Amino acid sequence: MSEFKEKVLSEISFAMVDDAPDLQKLYDKVAATDEHSELNDNQKIVLEWLKLTAPTGKPMQVVFWMMNNAAWGHLDELRDPLMELTDKEQFEVLTAFAQWGLEQEEAE
């Protein structure tokens, strides 16, 4: 069974335990799982770096630090994956990062 299918089934099982499952929330979780599984390897590397660095500053600061440090050669492991992203792929990473950040805010 694929990892995506397992996650979807897990979310459905969890929702069915509730007396009145929130179908919109369930849909959002499944959609988020699907979106992240569509990211390519370079996008996943960049997204993981953003997630790991997020607690150190505001979201836009984290993006700035990533771009600045990669440009100055301080993040060699991130520079190539970052620079190889197309504009569309960059937007997809930013979307995934924003969605993840909003989920973290809601969880607090």
| 91-106 per-position pLDDT tens digit | 999 999 999 999 998 8
* Residue 59 sits in the same domain as residue 100: yes
Number of structural domains, the chain? 2
* Residue 93 sits in the same domain as residue 81: yes
pLDDT above 90 for 89 = yes
* Residue 61 sits in the same domain as residue 92: yes
Q: How far apart are CA 25 and CA 15, in angstroms?
A: 9
Q: What is the pTM of this model?
A: 0.65
For 7-63, what is each residue's pLDDT tens digit? 656 666 665 555 545 555 655 665 665 555 689 999 999 999 999 999 999 999 999
Q: How far apart are CA 52 and CA 78, in angstroms?
A: 13
Res 50: pLDDT: 96
Residue 74 binned pLDDT confidence (cut-offs 50, 70, 90): confident
> Contact, 93 vs 43, CB < 8 A?
yes
* Residue 73 sits in the same domain as residue 20: no
**Residue type at position 26:** L
Q: Domain range holding 68?
A: 41-107
Res 67: pLDDT: 92
Q: How far apart are CA 36 and CA 38, in angstroms?
A: 5
Res 27: pLDDT: 54
> Contact, 26 vs 12, CB < 8 A?
yes
Res 18: pLDDT: 55
Q: What is the dihedral of CA 30, 92, 44, 104, to 10 degrees?
A: -60
Q: How far apart are CA 17 and CA 34, in angstroms?
A: 22
* Residue 73 sits in the same domain as residue 102: yes
What's the longest Cα–Cα distance across the chain?
Answer: 54
